């Protein structure tokens, strides 16, 4: 959680300094994402929304991987095709982040808004496959309380319930979808109330309590594989940071409100627990040093990632299909010829040969 | 076999040869509202041939999720007209899955079947031909058959292709087109247009049920004007086999493309532009599009809305006399 917080702080700053084009921190929700990571098995397939870097870090994604993705360089397994923070790792059973963005211009600030919950019903499909294969495996999908207003959320829960999918729905209810407060998002009893209506085993938990998150995820997971049925968890938490680096959240909520949650944040709570129970020896100087070390590592990785080349021209055409189709072959040839003559007008030196 | 029976036969082969293949959608369990999945549930079990809740976006997404973990997902959308709630899942998700993940994840083993085209009295929501909507989306393939033999071969090829494919079945042919369909397992090549009749004076291009209209119009024109028409079935609408079309038009010097869907923004525009670009010096007349009108698909006026034999015939006449 500490590492995650440092990464969020520094990458958020890096965006402000123009080193990366976009970032979304997970301040306030670290207990939820790390707790889920700990409660799941590593072979469970995760369909993320976008603010779940904690789960990915728990599984072994390192800051270098994150930075390579944010820079879109040749070390990025996504080949530089998506915006920053759209992580994915086949190796870590973490499906690539997607969801189209819609851009709103307001007060000269660009808000990037993730509108969709597209990954949620996809997780129902995978969960069906796991049941059919009799696997001890669940398909877990994250989404915010805003995304739960999308049609896809309703499709997902209804399909999972009627078709008995081994799917775990993980709703991060952090009170805001960008500027929209949850009171403008729904009138029922949160998202859990809807889940119950679909006949899905439902839990609600304090998302700022890492221990509670861990235990409820473990329990829900057990329920799923034992009964071959889906389960749903609503994590009550608070989005301490801005929605994204393109957002300035005091325009629509008070600083007092933010400060209240800052003081009661998940890191402080877990720290207090460890202190009281004596499970960890606290040495402030040592902790400071630890944080500094993490920062140094991140700066070094940032420098390296920045200096790495981007994928070459051909990469632009690959993976649209399994093989290049005739139209793509033709367009590839045209582009290469164009660049031969006009290459000096493009920043080709950034690309790998 | 008629067309719906050839679909069933192809699905039967797909389920038999691939233990990971699953078929699902609205009402497919009892055999489907067009009988395309008749008997499959009894033969392969309720886990492999099953009903879903009534929700198109859910069907498409569920299929993507299955394909992501290695299942061969064969989803049915009851009518092409009702594929639009799934548009987001198909266009933003399925089509881009492989590309956006750098080929870490893909949903290539996904096929979406949907009924398609005019049926005589289907009006606005049981008649549409939405192939152009999906042919503006890199990552997808769009395939439409014209007869039972070709339908089985193309459907099996689509199911086994490693990319998401939308397979539109002309519902007017389900019971009207009959053929001797081989019972064996066979595939027809995707991306290949088929020259179904050779000719030297004019190239006529269409797909699906419109192929019948072309045949009739060509027969009449050949009789009346003493010409010979070359008729091409596009088969794979996107990405299409431009080479075969160009070769033909370079030979004939004239080209007509015809489809039921509205003319503006239809596939006809794409083909006309491509032909104009690649056959400019060989063209003896403008490329003509004989298509549906830029109106919703009407009920009582269907017979004058459609690009029928006489509209195509007239276009041939104008082209020849240009």
CATH number of the domain that residue B269 is part of:
3.40.50.920
Question: Distance (Å) from the C-alpha of residue B214 to the closest C-alpha of chain A?
Answer: 27
Which domain does A320 fall in, by range? 313-350
Q: Determine whether the interchain pair B61/A158 forms a contact, defined as Cβ–Cβ distance below 8 Å.
A: no
Whether residue B125 is found in the same domain as residue B213: no
Question: Distance (Å) from the C-alpha of residue B68 to the closest C-alpha of chain A?
Answer: 7
Using CA atoms, how far apart are residues A120 and A154, in angstroms rounded to an integer? 9
Whether residue A301 is found in the same domain as residue A332: no
- Single out the residue in B144, B173, B202 at which a domain terminates: B173
- Single out the residue in B173, B207, B239 at which a domain terminates: B173
Using CA atoms, how far apart are residues A144 and A9, in angstroms rounded to an integer? 21
pLDDT for residue A45: 97
Whether residue A249 is found in the same domain as residue A187: yes
Whether residue B115 is found in the same domain as residue B159: yes
pLDDT for residue A287: 86
Q: Determine whether the interchain pair B100/A96 forms a contact, defined as Cβ–Cβ distance below 8 Å.
A: yes
- Tell me what the mean pLDDT of segment B193-215 comes to: 98
Whether residue B46 is found in the same domain as residue B76: yes
**Residue B184 covered by a domain:** no
pLDDT for residue A99: 60
Whether residue B149 is found in the same domain as residue B291: no
Whether residue A184 is found in the same domain as residue A329: no
Q: Kindly write down the DSSP assignment for every residue of B14-80, as one continuous string.
A: HHHH-TTEEEEETTTTTT-TTSTTTTHHHHH-TTTEEE--S-HHHHHHHHHHHHHTT-EEEEEES-G
pLDDT for residue A104: 36
Peptide bond into B239 cis (omega under 30): yes
**Residue B141 covered by a domain:** yes
**Residue B189 covered by a domain:** no
pLDDT for residue A17: 87
Whether residue A323 is found in the same domain as residue A177: no
Using CA atoms, how far apart are residues A64 and A80, in angstroms rounded to an integer? 14
Whether residue A181 is found in the same domain as residue A323: no
In degrees rounded to 5, what are phi and psi of residue A285? -65, -40
Whether residue A131 is found in the same domain as residue A177: yes
Whether residue B22 is found in the same domain as residue B63: yes
Q: Determine whether the interchain pair B105/A90 forms a contact, defined as Cβ–Cβ distance below 8 Å.
A: yes
Whether residue A279 is found in the same domain as residue A325: no
Condensed to tens digits (0 to 9), the pLDDT of residues B247-295 reads 999 999 999 999 999 999 999 999 999 999 999 999 999 999 999 999 9
* Residue listed under structure tokens 């004007």: B225
Whether residue A241 is found in the same domain as residue A325: no
Chain A residues with beta carbon closer than 8 angstroms to that of B104? 77-78, 88-90, 96
**Beta-bridge partners for B115:** B169
CATH number of the domain that residue A13 is part of:
3.40.50.970
Q: Determine whether the interchain pair B99/A319 forms a contact, defined as Cβ–Cβ distance below 8 Å.
A: yes
pLDDT for residue A282: 82
Number of domains in chain A: 2
Q: Would you please indicate which residues of B are annotated as catalytic (active-site) residues? A: 56, 126
**Residue B185 covered by a domain:** no
Using CA atoms, how far apart are residues B130 and B153, in angstroms rounded to an integer? 22
**Residue B183 covered by a domain:** no
pLDDT for residue A136: 98
Q: Determine whether the interchain pair B69/A45 forms a contact, defined as Cβ–Cβ distance below 8 Å.
A: yes
Using CA atoms, how far apart are residues B231 and B206, in angstroms rounded to an integer? 8
Whether residue B104 is found in the same domain as residue B33: yes
Question: Distance (Å) from the C-alpha of residue B242 to the closest C-alpha of chain A?
Answer: 9
Number of domains in chain B: 2
Chain A residues with beta carbon closer than 8 angstroms to that of B108? 322
Q: Chains A and B: how many Cβ contacts under 8 Å?
A: 154
**Contact by Cβ (8 Å): A121, A157:** no
Q: Determine whether the interchain pair B242/A127 forms a contact, defined as Cβ–Cβ distance below 8 Å.
A: no
Which domain does B69 fall in, by range? 3-173
Condensed to tens digits (0 to 9), the pLDDT of residues A134-187 reads 999 999 999 999 999 999 999 999 999 999 999 999 999 999 999 999 999 999
Whether residue B31 is found in the same domain as residue B115: yes
- Single out the residue in B173, B203, B229 at which a domain terminates: B173
Whether residue A237 is found in the same domain as residue A158: yes
pLDDT for residue A113: 44
Whether residue A284 is found in the same domain as residue A150: yes
- Tell me what the mean pLDDT of segment B23-39 comes to: 96
Q: Which residue positions in chain A have pLDDT lower than 50?
A: 100-115
What is the predicted ipTM?
0.95
Q: Is the pTM of this model over 0.80?
A: yes
**Two structure tokens written together for A273:** 């627990």
Whether residue A81 is found in the same domain as residue A46: yes
pLDDT for residue A98: 87
Whether residue B149 is found in the same domain as residue B208: no
Question: Distance (Å) from the C-alpha of residue B99 to the closest C-alpha of chain A?
Answer: 5
Q: Which of B52, B97, B138 sits opposite A159 (nearest CB)?
A: B52
Using CA atoms, how far apart are residues B257 and A110, in angstroms rounded to an integer? 45
Q: Determine whether the interchain pair A124/B50 forms a contact, defined as Cβ–Cβ distance below 8 Å.
A: no
Q: Which of B58, B69, B102 sits opposite A121 (nearest CB)?
A: B58
Chain B residues with beta carbon closer than 8 angstroms to that of A311? none
């Amino acid at each position: 959680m500490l590492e995650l917080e440092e990464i969020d702080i520094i990458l958020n700053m890096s965006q402000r300094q123009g080193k990366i084009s976009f970032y979304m921190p997970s301040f306030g929700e670290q207990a939820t994402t790390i707790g889920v990571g700990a409660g799941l098995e590593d072979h469970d397939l995760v369909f993320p929304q976008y603010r779940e870097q904690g789960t990915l870090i728990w599984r072994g994604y390192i800051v270098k991987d994150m930075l390579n993705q944010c820079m879109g360089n040749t070390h990025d397994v996504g080949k530089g095709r998506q915006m920053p923070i759209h992580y994915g790792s086949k190796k870590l059973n973490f499906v690539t982040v997607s969801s189209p963005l819609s851009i709103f211009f307001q007060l000269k600030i660009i808000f990037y808004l993730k509108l969709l919950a597209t990954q949620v019903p996809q997780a129902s499909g995978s969960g069906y496959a796991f049941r059919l294969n009799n696997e001890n495996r669940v398909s877990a999908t994250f989404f915010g309380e805003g995304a739960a207003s999308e049609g896809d959320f309703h499709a997902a829960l209804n399909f999972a319930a009627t078709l008995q999918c081994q799917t775990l729905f993980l709703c991060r209810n952090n009170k805001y979808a960008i500027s929209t407060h949850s009171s403008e998002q729904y009138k029922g009893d949160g998202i859990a109330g809807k889940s119950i209506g679909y006949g899905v085993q439902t839990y609600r938990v304090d998302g700022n309590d890492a221990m509670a998150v861990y235990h409820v995820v473990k329990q829900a997971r057990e329920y799923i594989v034992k009964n071959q049925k889906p389960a749903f968890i609503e994590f009550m938490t608070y989005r301490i940071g801005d929605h994204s680096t393109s957002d300035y959240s005091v325009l629509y909520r008070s600083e007092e409100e933010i400060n209240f949650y800052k003081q009661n944040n998940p890191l402080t709570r877990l720290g207090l627990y460890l202190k009281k129970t004596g499970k960890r020896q606290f040495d402030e100087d040592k902790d400071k040093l630890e944080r500094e070390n993490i920062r140094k590592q991140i700066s070094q990785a940032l420098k390296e990632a920045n200096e790495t080349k981007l994928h070459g021209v051909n990469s632009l055409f690959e993976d649209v299909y399994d093989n290049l189709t005739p139209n793509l072959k033709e367009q590839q040839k045209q582009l290469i010829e164009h660049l031969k003559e006009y290459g000096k007008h493009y920043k080709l030196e950034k690309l790998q040969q | 076999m008629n067309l719906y029976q050839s679909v069933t036969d192809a699905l039967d082969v797909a389920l038999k040869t691939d233990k990971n293949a699953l078929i699902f959608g609205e009402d497919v369990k009892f055999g489907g509202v067009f009988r395309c999945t008749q008997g499959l549930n009894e033969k392969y079990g309720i886990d492999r041939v099953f009903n879903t809740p009534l929700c198109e976006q859910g069907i498409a997404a569920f299929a993507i999720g299955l394909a992501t973990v290695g299942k061969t997902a064969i989803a049915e959308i009851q009518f092409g007209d009702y594929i639009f709630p799934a548009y987001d899942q198909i266009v933003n998700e399925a089509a881009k899955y492989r590309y956006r993940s750098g080929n870490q994840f893909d949903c290539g083993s996904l096929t979406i079947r949907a009924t398609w085209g005019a049926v005589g009295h289907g009006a606005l929501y049981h008649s549409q031909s939405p192939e152009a909507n999906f042919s503006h989306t890199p990552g997808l393939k769009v395939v439409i058959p014209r007869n039972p033999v070709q339908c089985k071969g193309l459907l099996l090829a689509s199911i086994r292709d490693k990319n998401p494919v939308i397979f539109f079945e002309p519902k007017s042919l389900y019971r009207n087109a009959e053929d001797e369909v081989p019972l064996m397992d066979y595939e027809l090549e995707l991306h290949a247009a088929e020259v179904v009749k050779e000719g030297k004076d004019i190239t006529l291009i269409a797909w699906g049920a419109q192929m019948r209209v072309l045949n009739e119009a060509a027969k009449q024109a050949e009789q009346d004007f003493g010409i010979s028409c070359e008729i091409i079935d596009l088969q794979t609408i996107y990405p299409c086999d431009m080479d075969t079309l160009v070769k033909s038009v370079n030979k004939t010097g004239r080209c007509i493309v015809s489809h039921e869907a509205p003319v503006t923004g239809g596939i006809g525009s794409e083909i006309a532009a491509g032909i104009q670009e690649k056959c400019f010096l060989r063209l003896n007349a403008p490329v003509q599009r004989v298509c549906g009108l830029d109106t919703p698909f009407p009920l009582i006026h269907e017979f004058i809305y459609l690009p029928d034999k006489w509209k195509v015939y007239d276009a041939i006449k104008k082209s020849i006399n240009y």
